Structure 1
Amino acid sequence: MSIPKATPARLGVVEKLGYSLGDLAANLIFQTLLTFIAFFYTDVYKLAPSAAASVIFIGGIVGACFNPMMGLLADRTRTRWGKFRPWILWTSIPFGLTALLAFSTPDLGEQGKIVYALLTYILLMLVYSANNLPYSALSGVLTGNMAERNSLSAYRFTAVMVAQFIIQVLLLPLVLIAGGGDKALGFQNVMTVFAIVGTVFFLITFFTTRERVVPAPTQRSSIRQDIVDLLGNRPWVVMLVLTILVFITLALKGGTYVYYFNSYLSETHLAAFLENIGFNGFIAGLNALLASVGLTAFHWPKDAATSGFSVFNAVGIIMMIIGIGFSKPLADRFGKRDVFGAALLVSTVFMLALYFFPPESIGPVFLCQLLHGFFYGITIPLLWAMIADVADYSEWKNNRRATALLFSAMIFGLKAGLSIGGALVAALLSHYGYDASLPAQAPETANGILLSVSVWASIPFLLGVASLALYDIRKSVELQIERDLGDRRAAAQH
């Protein structure tokens, strides 16, 4: 069992904000991988789609397999700062450096580039595990109050949405601007900035948080016992499967959107849509304002695909942030499991609907993105709050706590899903005949891109909804676990 160190009923705003900045820092890199890794390898580093698929899959799976070891190591870390906070400190600088290496483009020849991409991607995945696994586990030991975890998750994933906005809306234009049109140089310059900002944010997370829920001094468990507890924990198994499925979809749809705008949607109709909604006027007005105060104009890329892609992601992210605002009150009333499943199902319907729109139907495409973003936003904080609940469920059932090991399995699921989904982007492009050197793709390629972003991306989400039928931690069980563990911890203090 666990003993809190004066566990408060509520966490302070400073601690919630400080904790959330760690996810903002990590997601500057993670969201880039989620959205642009296939595009970077095929269109910037000029790897063949089949080679890119192999790099993403092999590198990601190697990194994922490191997670259980990292979880066992983090659970057995003993420092004056706690178990998990030190890892955020130790990996703050290496994280940024490995990201910079992974998005660099040395000219090493065809085979040399593949080897370089594979090695740097594996290295980035290993450092990501060493950083993000303890960071995620930290949310389970900042407080034992489940309602407070819902609030903490809302803060955390609002920060995630900020990072997602920066990457999905601004990264491609910033890459073109920072590189003067040279995408390779642009990626390197932008990643340098991300490395510096990320390091500072990780340090803020380290200094503003405190671990309160710690294992009792009498707790003794072997690695074998921890693994036996894990395998006997059905909610954990369900969450592992759910995490893999969710991130397959996120990587598949997120990585395909840039091709969807470049190769499927009508550029003429997209340009007219941007004009009609006032986007071009907004950019012109912004430049006029900058010029009036003596600043340099903001050189937004001229092509409709880049602008449409950015606006599409922007409206989706704004709606996700609004959805996050509904997450805590809905979860407090109906329970995390039921709210997560219902919102994920509805969001999938609007993603699947993209399949029925021809290239000229720009308005309906954006409307579906708005509705998909809102309902998916409701689910975002709940996934990780549910994982923290699974750690409590394990302690409640077995009288032992192995927080990092439980979270390591979820990070494994995240990486496995990211690897499978990201590899599927490149593999499907290869299957449908995508050629980055062509000015326009063949009709069968464009249709394959449409299938990938709608039908194929919807299937894992639907399977994830079905898997929740086996998840035992309903609202009534949440309350019972919190009550029983609170009684045990109070008794242990006397």
Structure 2
Amino acid sequence: MTNDKGQTSDSAAENAIAEKLSFGTKLAFGAGDLGTAMTANIIVFYLLFFLTDVAGLSPGLAGSILTLSNIWDAINDPIVGVLSDKTRSRWGRRYPWMIFGAIPFGIFFFLQWIVPPLSEWGLFWYYIAISLLFNTAYTTVNLPYTALTPELTEDYDERTNLNSFRFAFSLGGSIVSLLIGKIIFDLVEDSQLRYILLGGICAVIAVLPIYWCILGTRDRLQQMQRQKPEAEEPVSLPLLEQFRIVLNNRPFLFAIGIYVCSWLALQVTASIIPYFVVSWMNLPEAAFPQVALAVQGTALVMLFFWSKLSDRLGKKAVYFMGMSLWLIAQFGLFFVQPGQNLLMYCLAVMAGFGVATAYLIPWSMVPDVIDLDELQTGQRREGIFYAFMVLLQKIGRGLGLFLVGQALEFAGYLERVPGEAIPQQPESAQLAIRIAIAPMPALVIIGGLILAYFYPITRDVHHSILLQLRERKQSNERA
């Protein structure tokens, strides 16, 4: 039997869990994605072009580097996810990974932008090694960070709002990196020096917000841990059994399918933009950051609009609206001709409307899936679910870059000899660039829309899941 004092304490605990997060906590949480977003954005927009037109590798070898590094990610993401679930420390499960991974993360990112005096195959193996080390460090920072979302709040709409802060910083970091790139490209003529400066400056900026996130969310996380100590209990199931349960979670399969389609479309588009701007639109190399800024800047502005609209209409409706606009923009880019620069920028802005929903909606679905998993299994496994999401994020990035690289190789793209001008591309390569900028991402966007139609967790369903979880907790306490 519970006394009045106990009832008051329980009521206070429930109210504390349900209360809205402070602005400072949301701001600090969002900052945690700034550095990783900057580095991921630069890799997507610049790395393939850097490897072919600065380091002088063939498109096939350049695409293979990114593919092999993502195969390693397929191994280390689930491992880090499970280990972070099992971590016990006075800082909780996630923070130790972020604390000790931040500095190596910055160092290995910088080393990707150096061109050592090696043969083509020597450069190939150098970039393979650095990519493996960087992606390992990226995982140790980013995966535990993403798993913080359901540990900070249980509220269905508050999670969407929290992710809007995250992706505001994510898109903000992307925009900052593109602005830094534009300034460097405008001021520095030497191609290799451009990328050394870009990598060094962004590496320093990327590390610091990770520590801001830790310090700014620590109090809220400790409060949640005191009120739900069972959430900090290490996961007891074997790794293969956890994989089986995750893959048998039907709503999660829909969520990751939606995310893979959205992210693959984004990665293919982003990686081909430099080639589209330079080789098809015949604009200077320094112009492609402006096109990327049009997309990312619009996405940042629209992020909070979509978040508010999601509170009223639901996640699925917002996803349909945003992705439909993006689909129209992608098809339009196929028909843009050299000299139609204004039309190109207008379509880039329209694409940004949809890109915002691609960032926001799939990630806000995952915490709801984790609650369902807790209801079904009695355990919290944020790490393993977010491991799959981060893994698929990287696979989408690597697959997009690989497909673009192989398509350019097959179409006869002429890589630039270091120190010389960019060569005029054959018609086959130009057609491959136009296909990669429009029909290819459009097809996967359509796939994401089909999966979103069947996604089963609505606001009412999630509310029912939380009620059942609380009833079970109260039943256990009475027992």
**SS of structure 2 residue aligned to 1:435:** coil
1:187 is matched with which residue: 181, 195, 204? 195
Matched, 1:363 2:378: no
Q: Which amino acid is 1:111 matched to?
A: W
Q: CA 1:316/1:214 → structure 2, altered by over 3 Å: closer, same or farther?
A: farther
- What TM-score does the superposition give when structure 1 sets the normalisation length? 0.86
- What TM-score does the superposition give when structure 2 sets the normalisation length? 0.89
Deviation at 1:245, TM superposition (A): 2.3
Give the Cα–Cα distance (whole angstroms) in 2 for the partners of residues 404 and 247 of structure 1. Answer: 20
- 1:326-365 residue pairs with structure 2 within 5 A? 326-365=305-344
Give the Cα–Cα distance (whole angstroms) in 1 for the partners of residues 429 and 80 of structure 2. Answer: 41
Counterpart of 1:408 in structure 2 is: 387
**SS of structure 1 residue aligned to 2:21:** coil
Matched, 1:18 2:2: no
1:233 is matched with which residue: 231, 234, 249? 249
Counterpart of 2:399 in structure 1 is: 420
Contact 2:31 2:166 in 1 (8 A): yes
Q: Which amino acid is 1:243 matched to?
A: Y
1:318 is matched with which residue: 292, 297, 317? 297
Counterpart of 1:76 in structure 2 is: 86
Q: 1:346-400: per-residue Cα shift (whole Å, max 9, x none)?
A: 3122112111222232222221111121233234222211112211121123222
Aligned-residue Cα RMSD (Å) equals 2.2
Give the Cα–Cα distance (whole angstroms) in 1 for the partners of residues 400 and 15 of structure 2. Answer: 41
Deviation at 1:30, TM superposition (A): 0.7
2:376 is matched with which residue: 388, 397, 402? 397
Q: Which stretch shifts more, 70-79 or 382-391?
A: 382-391
Deviation at 1:486, TM superposition (A): 4.3
Q: 1:209-231: per-residue Cα shift (whole Å, max 9, x none)?
A: 13225535778631244233212
Q: 1:135-190: per-residue Cα shift (whole Å, max 9, x none)?
A: 1001121111122111111111111111111233441442563xx32222222223
Deviation at 1:489, TM superposition (A): 4.8
Q: CA 1:489/1:145 → structure 2, altered by over 3 Å: closer, same or farther?
A: farther
Counterpart of 2:230 in structure 1 is: 215
Q: Which runs of 5+ in 2 are unaligned?
A: 1-12, 417-421
Deviation at 1:124, TM superposition (A): 1.1
Q: Which stretch shifts more, 437-446 or 87-96?
A: 437-446
Contact 1:146 1:389 in 2 (8 A): yes
Counterpart of 1:202 in structure 2 is: 210
Counterpart of 1:255 in structure 2 is: 271
Counterpart of 2:354 in structure 1 is: 375
Counterpart of 1:480 in structure 2 is: 464
Q: CA 1:492/1:320 → structure 2, altered by over 3 Å: closer, same or farther?
A: farther
Matched, 1:100 2:110: yes
Counterpart of 1:386 in structure 2 is: 365
Q: CA 1:81/1:491 → structure 2, altered by over 3 Å: closer, same or farther?
A: farther
Contact 1:26 1:132 in 2 (8 A): yes
Give the Cα–Cα distance (whole angstroms) in 2 for the partners of residues 6 and 458 of structure 1. Answer: 44
- 1:146-185 residue pairs with structure 2 within 5 A? 146-175=156-185, 177=187, 180-185=188-193
Give the Cα–Cα distance (whole angstroms) in 2 for the partners of residues 166 and 60 of structure 1. Answer: 25
Counterpart of 2:286 in structure 1 is: 306
Q: CA 1:79/1:4 → structure 2, altered by over 3 Å: closer, same or farther?
A: farther
Deviation at 1:475, TM superposition (A): 2.9
Contact 1:41 1:47 in 2 (8 A): yes
Contact 1:133 1:404 in 2 (8 A): yes
Q: Which runs of 5+ in 1 are unaligned?
A: 268-302
Q: CA 1:482/1:50 → structure 2, altered by over 3 Å: closer, same or farther?
A: same
Give the Cα–Cα distance (whole angstroms) in 1 for the partners of residues 100 and 171 of structure 2. Answer: 25
Q: CA 1:316/1:21 → structure 2, altered by over 3 Å: closer, same or farther?
A: same
Q: Which stretch shifts more, 211-220 or 383-392?
A: 211-220
Q: 1:385-440: per-residue Cα shift (whole Å, max 9, x none)?
A: 11122111211232221011010011111111111001112111112211133532
Give the Cα–Cα distance (whole angstroms) in 1 for the partners of residues 161 and 88 of structure 2. Answer: 28
Q: 1:444-487: per-residue Cα shift (whole Å, max 9, x none)?
A: 22222111111112111111111223322123212222333344
Q: Count the aligned residue pairs.
A: 453
Counterpart of 1:439 in structure 2 is: 423
Matched, 1:33 2:43: yes
Give the Cα–Cα distance (whole angstroms) in 2 for the partners of residues 65 and 459 of structure 1. Answer: 28
Aligned-residue sequence identity (percent) comes to 24
1:7 is matched with which residue: 17, 22, 26? 17
Give the Cα–Cα distance (whole angstroms) in 2 for the partners of residues 88 and 477 of structure 1. Answer: 33
Q: CA 1:49/1:217 → structure 2, altered by over 3 Å: closer, same or farther?
A: closer
Q: Which amino acid is 1:442 matched to?
A: P
Give the Cα–Cα distance (whole angstroms) in 2 for the partners of residues 175 and 358 of structure 1. Answer: 25
Q: CA 1:221/1:429 → structure 2, altered by over 3 Å: closer, same or farther?
A: same
Give the Cα–Cα distance (whole angstroms) in 1 for the partners of residues 90 and 234 of structure 2. Answer: 18
Give the Cα–Cα distance (whole angstroms) in 1 for the partners of residues 229 and 310 of structure 2. Answer: 26
Give the Cα–Cα distance (whole angstroms) in 1 for the partners of residues 245 and 392 of structure 2. Answer: 18
Counterpart of 1:120 in structure 2 is: 130
Give the Cα–Cα distance (whole angstroms) in 2 for the partners of residues 125 and 216 of structure 1. Answer: 28
1:448 is matched with which residue: 415, 432, 435? 432
Contact 1:176 1:186 in 2 (8 A): no
Deviation at 1:316, TM superposition (A): 2.1
Q: CA 1:130/1:216 → structure 2, altered by over 3 Å: closer, same or farther?
A: closer
